[in-house]
Each structure stands twice: as C-alpha cells, then as structure tokens.
Amino acid sequence: MVLATMLRQLGCTTTEAADPKTALAILQSDPSINLVFTDVLLPWMSGISFLERIRERHPEVPVVVISASDFSLWGEQALQRGAIFCLQIPFFKRDLAAALEAAQTA
C-alpha cells in the first residue's frame, strides 16, 4: 500500500488491516496504536461509520480520513465526526507529514 510505504519513509511503524472489522479488532488488542488512517470507501461500512466506531471505542486514538472522492462530499462530515485531519488523494509526503503533526497535537 502506498500510504503505508510513505508513512514508513516518514519514520512510522505501520499495521495494516484489510477491512474495518479487522482494524477494530487490532485496535482492541494493540494499545500501542496511536493513529488510524482510513479511506472513506471501505468494505462492510463507510469510512465515516468506521470513524464513529473508533471515536466511541477508542476516543484517545486520532483518525485521519483520506479519499479520492470529492472532498465536499465527505470532508466536513469527517471533521464534524472527529477526524483530526483529512487528505484528498492524490497527496504528497509533505501533506502526510502535516497530518502526522496534527495527530501529535490532538
């Protein structure tokens, strides 16, 4: 995954999940996870619903929402529901670094 590669290039350790259900299980079992990136379009639930579940179960974990779809369709909703940062695909490494910085101050 391109995102995971870019995060590793910025010095992050990454854990990937194939779907929201797996990601929620990983969050439950691994307290070292301190940031989640999610797309708006996911299998089994929307990225916004996934964001809401994370906020309910793990309010201390910041969430960054990404998508290639039109920001006006999802960005404001993601921020209102607790995302700390939104990225429109395509994005650059500097944009990802800004999201990481926002996560540190969240």
- Supply the DSSP string of 2-22, one letter for each residue: HHHHHHHHTT------SSHHH
pLDDT number for residue 102: 93
User: Which residue, 21, 28, 16, 12, is CA-closest to 103?
Assistant: 12
Q: CA 64 → CA 8, 16, 75, 104, distances in Å?
A: 16, 14, 11, 12
pLDDT for 54-70, tens place per residue?
999 999 999 999 999 88
Q: What is the pLDDT of residue 65?
A: 96
Whole-model pTM: value is 0.93
Architecture field, domain 46-106: 3-Layer(aba) Sandwich (3.40)
Given a cut of 80, is residue 1 above it in pLDDT? no
